[in-house]
Amino acid sequence: MKGLVSYRRPVVLIVIIDAIAFSLLFLYKQPFDWYVLPAGLLVIGLICASFHVITRKSLGDEYLFLITAMLTSLGFIMIYRLDPVYGFRQIMWFSAGILLFFLSFFVFLKFRFWHRLFYYYVSISLALFILTLSLGESVKGSKNWLEIGKFSFQPSELIKILFILSLACCFSKSEQVIFKGLSISFPQSPVRYRIVLALVSYMPLGFLVLQREWGTAIVFFLVYATLVYAFDDSPRFFALNAAAAVLGAVAGYMTLYHIRVRVETWLDPWKDIAGKGYQITQSLFAIAEGGFFGTGIGMGRPDLIPAVNTDFIFSAICEEMGIFGGVAVILLYFILTYRGVKISLRVKNPFYRATALGITLMFGFQTFIIIGGVIKLIPLTGITLPFVSYGGSSLTTSFIALGMLQAVSVIAEEPGTDGPGPGADKFEPGADESGSGAGGSGSEADESGPETSGIGPGADGSEPASVVPEAEIHGPGAELDEPGPDDDINAEHIKDAECRNLDNSGEKGVAGSNETDK
């Protein structure tokens, strides 16, 4: 327990940051804002409680949540400083997001039929697109808001998740079930399967272009192209997609006035500084104003940038926390993406693999596009910075996606069979070998569900073949190999292992005595 308040524990650092920042925000305006303190306490409490649950119950990778907690904390500080009303709402969305995070985690982990719902994903996203196009609200030139009563949300955020899931279905080439008894499988011929794949991915792209959500369209395409690159082994198909992208971009530039404006203001924002180039130049001024360490919270004027709460939050962070703060945000996204890729490498089932990679890519590309946009590295397209920007739909769906990623990190640590996925049969021969090879003890090891080969040395056995001989040789010892992420669990673990050892040592004792008799 002595390590509880050590600087080495990242969660302590988050708490310190939040505590300092919210006390500072409390002093920011002269009639003291008494709502700041309970808001800050709520944030700290939520982060600590969730982190505690994740580590104590060992719900998979703990770094994912830590990193996103840091990012959302930076977001709260900035948004609260810009506008306390929005800040408070963002904290409310965060509470909802945490709930949804755990909900999506458990649902995604518990039910393992996600790879069979391909047609549901496609039809729901289609329905959402049509609804937005017909009933949607126009905000800032993009028709992408859906209003239900008082509550409005951005369907494209939800569609992101559906899109990734449908792509993952395609890449795992799973059997698709619509109703009980009626099952449709993917076309076996590679050409037809690729046509289905391309249709599934270009359909949302078309709708997004109709809604004038260029940024989201680019994110979708990049996720799709990278997944094709990672999972489809035909270079020609990838080249075809790349060609289609270039063609689409050129055609868009030629025909669509909006895109041409974006590119022009990107190339030279100073030409029309008061009009089209206003946003981007204000953002550049803000970043320049910040310098290395920033002006200090509450001392800059990031409120001069239009849409600073959502798209331009990165410029505000750069102005008030300096370029060091900005680089820290980018680094945080780096580690987040790294963790995601690591998880997707570890899981064997192709469906979960593609899902994990897709979610990670979505976070990564979204960050790249919006940060690249506000620092004038690439043409600006308005999307949110995941976890940091203000926005209920964005924050909650990001947390849902994070919950799924977290669930995959648990699935990745399940030994041998990760889920009844379609890819599992691929690895079954290996599992059989271990069963017959190691005899009783081997199959026992297979059944031991909660034991994971997580952080431990088993993790490197990405090919099932290399796992098998280990299980064979170590027999019952194999269960001891997992450094359970939790001490309590460990104790149980050991007890379990001991019991098993007792059982085994009975058998072994007999076997051993036979040997000595010889």
CA atoms of 170 and 203, how far apart (whole Å): 14
- What are the start-end ranges of the H helices in 268-349? 278-290, 313-346
Around 488, how many Cα atoms within 13 Å sit in the side-chain half-sphere?
4
Nearer to other proteins, 287 or 497 (CB): 497
Q: How far is the CB of 264 from other proteins (least distance, A)?
A: 36
Residue carrying structure tokens 């600590």 = 48
Q: How far is the CB of 290 from other proteins (least distance, A)?
A: 10
Which pair of structure tokens corresponds to residue 491? 């104790």
Nearer to other proteins, 194 or 339 (CB): 339
Q: How far is the CB of 439 from other proteins (least distance, A)?
A: 8
Q: Which residues of 452-462 are buried (b: 16+ CB within 10 A; e: fewer)?
A: bbbebebbebe
Nearer to other proteins, 119 or 338 (CB): 338
Q: How far is the CB of 501 from other proteins (least distance, A)?
A: 4
Q: Which one, of 323, 319, 329, lies nearest residue 296 by Cα? A: 319
List the Cα angle 17/5/66 in 5-degree steps. 50
Which residues, 6 or more positions from 144, have their beta carbon under 8 angstroms from its beta carbon?
132, 136, 154, 155, 156, 211, 212, 213, 216
Q: How far is the CB of 340 from other proteins (least distance, A)?
A: 12
Helix (H, G, I), strand (E, B) or coil at 178: strand
CA atoms of 47 and 266, how far apart (whole Å): 39
Q: How far is the CB of 353 from other proteins (least distance, A)?
A: 19
Cα→Cα distances 103→118, 221, 339, 344, Å: 21, 28, 21, 21
CA atoms of 168 and 161, how far apart (whole Å): 11
Task: Summarize as ranges the residues that interact with other proteins (CB under 8 A).
Answer: 3, 7-10, 13-14, 16-17, 20-21, 24, 27-28, 63, 66-67, 70, 74, 293-299, 320-322, 324-325, 328, 331-332, 335, 338-339, 439, 441, 455-457, 459-460, 469-470, 473-477, 480-481, 483-485, 487, 490, 494, 497-498, 501, 504-505, 508, 511-512
Nearer to other proteins, 177 or 332 (CB): 332
Nearer to other proteins, 143 or 508 (CB): 508
Q: Are 316 and 78 in contact (CB under 8 A)?
A: yes
Q: How far is the CB of 504 from other proteins (least distance, A)?
A: 8
Nearer to other proteins, 69 or 162 (CB): 69
Nearer to other proteins, 176 or 504 (CB): 504
Nearer to other proteins, 78 or 197 (CB): 78
Q: How far is the CB of 450 from other proteins (least distance, A)?
A: 16
Nearer to other proteins, 63 or 237 (CB): 63
Distance of CA 121 to the CA centre of its chain: 18
Which residues, 6 or more positions from 186, have their beta carbon under 8 angstroms from its beta carbon?
170, 173, 174, 175, 176, 193, 196
Q: Is 26 exposed, middle or buried (CB count within 10 Å of its CB: 0-12, 13-18, 19+)?
A: middle
CA atoms of 516 and 503, how far apart (whole Å): 20
- What are the start-end ranges of the H helices in 375-486? 392-413, 424-447, 464-474
Nearer to other proteins, 213 or 319 (CB): 319
Helix (H, G, I), strand (E, B) or coil at 387: coil
Nearer to other proteins, 276 or 474 (CB): 474
Residues 361/363/366/372 CA torsion (nearest 10 deg): -90
Q: How far is the CB of 299 from other proteins (least distance, A)?
A: 5
Q: How far is the CB of 478 from other proteins (least distance, A)?
A: 9
Q: How far is the CB of 338 from other proteins (least distance, A)?
A: 7
CA atoms of 441 and 439, how far apart (whole Å): 6
